[in-house]
Amino acid sequence: MDASPPAFRFAAILAVAFLPSLAASDGAGLAGRDLKLPPADSFHPDRQPDASGARPPMPAPTWGGTLTVHTENLPRHLNLALSSSAYGRRVASQVHGWLALYDPMTLEFEPQLAQAVGVLDLITQKTGEPREAYGVVQDLVNEWELLTPSGPVRVRKSEDVIVSKGVVFTFLLREGLRWHDGHPFDAEDVRFSWSIYGNPAVRCDDRRWQHQKIRSCEVLDARTVRFVYSEQYFHAAITVGDLFLLPRHLYDPTDPDHEKADPAFHASRRAQDKNWKPGPKDIADCVNDNVHNREFVGLGPYKIASWTDEVLEVERAPTWKDDARAGHVDRIRWRRIADYGAAFRALIAGEVDLLDAVTTDDYFGSIASSDDFRAKYYTGTHRSQSYWYVGWNTRSPKLADPRVRRAFAHLTDLEGYLTSYYRGLARTMTGPFLPTSPACDPSIQPLAHDAGLAESLLSEAGWIDRDGDGIRDQGGVPLEIEVLVEAKNSATQTFAAKFREDLARGGVRLKVTSLDFSALDQRKTERNFEAVQLGWAMAPEADPEQTWHSRWAPSDKQGGNFVGLADPAVDALIAKGQAELDFDARQRIWHQLQARIMELQPYLFCYAPSRKFAMLRTIRGFQETAVDPNWDLRALYFAPGTPGTRDRLR
């Protein structure tokens, strides 16, 4: 059975209370899954290691205060079922919760609003009377043994008996959870939250494809709900745990409490038709245009206090009972400032306490190194979940040969650029997985900067300068590549200039075309490009199928595989990995996938830049995590002695 969600016997479901991961605040993670997270406050001047290498201890935590955080953008509303923006998710992490999600420190799949998660297998008999049953299925050589509450049942293996492992998820919800308006949270809310994906009038197209893999959802009792997947899927647990929960009494007109909450909705419809009963269209209207999409009612420790175009403020919600994860500060304020230069100025002016988007210029600039600044603030870096790359259109005749793509990688001096441009504040990518992810094999190196090797690869592939103009050619076609770059992004523009020089050394002409994002995206979608410079924001464990499987390669498919990679070995590894439920075994498969993709070079994998932050020195508890935004807001507290703080939660 898989190690990530804990499995236990049917009868013991109600008896087992699962405790969240006990990872120490020093972030070592569980043995065997070292995410290389630094200790808390690793950049704080008062936490620097002394001569013996030991760090001074953290000050005692306090509670209270208002924390103002910078954000580049605010979500339009908080109903993430309708539109899933990264900014929306960051706010929702404080005012709401999920059934289960990745623990930010260990990437273990942990229940959050659920008390426990049970994973069972499904055994189906197709012929005769189709029957199916849930339970833990064990493989005895000639038969399957199904463990049920009433005892083990043996079923002979045959063609019409199918066992799907790990497709049944049973959630036991925590006791006493209430929505911010006081209404209790129960399993019917969960079932309703899933049912909207089957309603075509609800505007939840972003994630519909994922939730449609779930075959059914059943409410067993007020605190228990069960999901069944139609087939084995390694991402099943996180997808179902990630379901965005909506309060039924505010969103479902068929709920008896809805009329009390929103009488006007029912009244207006009854006025038109006396015998009106709420149907799917009404449910969709209620979900799409609900006032609570903004005046959000959630399940988290904070609730919305005020929301303007520039500032979103949340305060403590009295309905949150769990003191351990209640957050230290009393109010959180997200201040939207789109321009990074203006944001830095706002930090210095005291309008923002924590800025997570300091530009390289500001970070190394004279203001940040001045004594005045250092007396009040400190700066540091943390990992980010995104990386950028140059995607090669493998369908283009010039770029179809992997030797040519490998030659381009050998021509580029990635290490040199890393030192001189990023000043070491980025990591070179060695494949499609972030260096900090367990799926990344640390032993795989980027392709060495070796112009001689590159030239011999190109010559081998038949690209030689036959006409003497300095550009390699073959069959009369010169090796000229057009790379599309986003116009306003100075980092990629700079790299493109350097890239052009590097490739010129090997007799390849690079033409840089600067487009704005919408034009670039259109050409990419139409596959009307030779090379394109873009980035990916990675989920903690992403499904590589959309990006690398040949199924998504044809040009009429819109999706992540716009480079058109179609390699049977890659397809096989992806399929194998998707079906592998054991976490460690799956990572080993991803390592093989990484090696194969590096061999094929469908992208020139560039960098995963670190994010640079600056904040008040009085803010303590900054812990880097493995999940976007890569730091934990609830762990932050003001240092003891800051006015407005106290030494107890209540």
Asked if 272 is part of the footprint of other proteins (rule: CB under 8 A), the reply reads no
Tokens describing residue 302: 């904070």
Distance CA 254, CA 524 (A): 44
419 near other proteins (CB under 8 A): yes
Site for other proteins in 345-384 (CB under 8 A): 345-346, 349-351, 361, 364-367, 369
**How do strand 603-609 and strand 426-428 relate by DSSP bridges?**
antiparallel
Of 323-352, binders to other proteins (CB under 8 A) are 338, 342, 345-346, 349-351
Cβ-based nearer residue to other proteins, 144 or 417 = 417
Does residue 555 interact with other proteins by CB under 8 A? Answer: no
- Give 173 or 510: the residue with its C-beta nearer to other proteins: 510
Q: Which is nearer to other proteins, 117 or 538 (CB)?
A: 538
Q: CB neighbours of 15 closer than 8 A, spacing ≥ 6?
A: none
Residue 80 and residue 92 in contact, taking contact as beta carbons nearer than 8 Å: yes
| 304 vs 332: CA distance, rounded Å | 10
Query: Pattern of binders to other proteins over 448-477, x per CB under 8 A?
Result: -------xx--xx-x-xxxxxxxx--xxx-
Comparing CB distances to other proteins, the nearer of 116 and 520 is: 520
Kindly state whether residue 73 participates in binding other proteins, applying the rule CB under 8 A: yes
Query: Per-residue x/- marks for other proteins, 185-224, CB under 8 A?
Result: ------------------x-xxxxxx--------------
Least Å distance, CB 64 to other proteins, is 20
**505 lines the binding site for other proteins (CB under 8 A):** yes
Give residues 574-613 in contact with other proteins (rule: CB under 8 A): none
**Contact between 265 and other proteins per CB under 8 A:** no
Provide the token pair at 502.
Answer: 């590097």
Q: Quick check: 539 binds other proteins (CB under 8 A)?
A: yes
Which residues fall within 8 angstroms of residue 189, CB to CB, at 6 or more apart?
A: 245, 246, 247, 248
| Part of the chain binding other proteins (CB under 8 A), chosen from 105-113, 163-171, 218-226, 492-500 | 492-500
Report the residue number, 138 or 489, with the smaller CB distance to other proteins.
489
What values do phi and psi take at 219, rounded to 5? -95, 120
**SS3 call for 151:** strand
Contacts of 267 (CB under 8 A, 6+ apart): none
Residues between 94 and 123 with contacts to other proteins, criterion CB under 8 A: none
Give yes or no for residue 78 binding other proteins (CB under 8 A): no
Residues in a beta bridge with 69: 334, 354
End-to-end CA distance of the chain: 43
Task: Kindly report the number of other CB atoms within 10 A of residue 384's CB atom.
Answer: 20
Contacts of other proteins in 305-324 (CB under 8 A): 309
Rounded Cα–Cα distance for residues 607 and 610 (Å): 9
Number of residues that bind other proteins (CB under 8 A): 93
Burial of 433: CB neighbours in 10 Å, binned 0-12, 13-18, 19+ = buried
519 binds other proteins (CB under 8 A): yes
CB 521 within 8 A of CB 529: no
Q: Binding segment for other proteins among 54-62, 110-118, 515-523, 569-577 (CB under 8 A)?
A: 515-523
- Taking CB under 8 A as the criterion, the residue among 44, 47, 70, 77 binding other proteins is 77
Q: In angstroms, rounded to a whole number, what is the distance separating the alpha carbons of residues 331 and 483?
A: 46
Measured CA distances, 209 to 195, 212, 285, 432, 473 (Å): 13, 5, 21, 23, 45
Q: Nearer to other proteins by C-beta: 139 or 467?
A: 467
